[in-house]
Amino acid sequence: MDNQQKISAYRAQLSAYEFKRISRFIESNYGIKLPDHKRIMVQGRLHKRLIALNLNTFKQYVGYLFSPEGSEKEIPQMVDLISTNKTDFFRESPHFKVLTEVVLEEYINTNSFSTFKVWSAGCSSGEEVYTIGMVINEFFEDHKGYRYKILGSDISYKMLKKAAEAIYDEKDVAIIPLYLKRKYLLKHKDKSIKKVRISPELRSKVHYIRLNFMDERYDDIKQMYDVAFCRNVLIYFERDVQLQVIRKILAKIKPGGYLFLGHSESINDMDLPVTKISPTVFKKDK
């Protein structure tokens, strides 16, 4: 594609009809609601796909997207670009105090030496997963004999790849306390490269899988978990879909285990087998 064609692709407009086809597909298959005011955002994110596919219009793109070839090859690319992947290390930090002072304290008082299992549902690029790992690792250093494993799941192949690589810009880890940086972050040998990588110790505790919350059953989640983090994910779903997702997540949490939600999310009016511990932390009934 020459420069003139690229300019043409970047100027392409996503019509209301084309946006509706995409948004309906996304909501039906992935539960993510894209209201009309998101059309410009979607248009901007998909311009690069027009260029990659050597297309000039969104009419061409939508035609390809829903073709047999596009359904196999392009839909994962489109979902990666449209899904929101905002996350940070130690985001909503009070949750990690609850994890330490309530959940882990209870765990060591009620379990013999065993493996503590955490599921980060909607893990994005891994910041939440490795924050959890740092917190648990610090706690278990003072309580020898316990082990832990973390599962991270997300709908985006791109985010899962980044999470598994565990490489981050130095500015993105600025919030991490210095003593944790020294223990769990590795700097590049080339000092001009301002990136760090999570230590092998933490990476070895983590496993990643792709999961669509709209799947009928979460069959790829093979184990039961002591804790599930599902933070700032439900806000993109309609209320009935939120309830379906929470029920499926709870089915993978052990009786007496814990569910952490984002501070902007609520399940107070849902009929669920949980007891509220704090505004966004819930304990599954035994």
pLDDT tens track of the chain, all 286 residues? Answer: 566 667 677 788 999 999 999 999 999 888 888 889 999 999 999 998 998 899 889 999 999 999 999 888 899 889 888 876 778 999 999 999 999 999 999 999 988 778 999 999 999 999 999 999 999 999 999 998 899 999 999 999 999 999 999 999 999 999 999 999 999 999 988 888 899 999 999 999 999 999 999 998 899 999 999 999 999 888 888 888 899 999 999 999 999 999 999 998 888 889 999 999 998 999 999 8
The total domain count for the chain is 2
pLDDT tens-place string over residues 91-120: 999 999 999 999 999 999 988 778 999 999
- Residues 112 and 253 placed together within one structural domain of the fold: yes
pLDDT tens-place string over residues 202-220: 999 999 999 999 998 899 9
CATH number of the domain that 78 lies in?
Answer: 1.10.155.10
CATH number of the domain that 168 lies in?
Answer: 3.40.50.150
- Residues 143 and 24 placed together within one structural domain of the fold: no
- Its domain, for residue 214, covers 94-284
CA-CA-CA-CA dihedral for 4, 6, 7, 11, to nearest 10? 140
- Residues 109 and 198 placed together within one structural domain of the fold: yes
- Residues 52 and 173 placed together within one structural domain of the fold: no
- Beta-bridge partners for 278: 281
Task: Give a yes or no: residue 88 inside a domain.
Answer: no
Q: What amino acid is encoded at 179 in this protein?
A: Y
Task: Give a yes or no: residue 232 inside a domain.
Answer: yes
Q: Where are the alpha helices (DSSP H) in the chain?
A: 3-10, 16-30, 39-52, 58-65, 68-73, 75-82, 94-98, 105-110, 127-141, 157-165, 178-184, 200-203, 239-250
Q: Residue 239 carries which DSSP code? A: H
- Residues 225 and 101 placed together within one structural domain of the fold: yes
Task: Give a yes or no: residue 87 inside a domain.
Answer: no
- Residues 113 and 43 placed together within one structural domain of the fold: no
Instruction: Supply 83's token pair.
Output: 């899904």
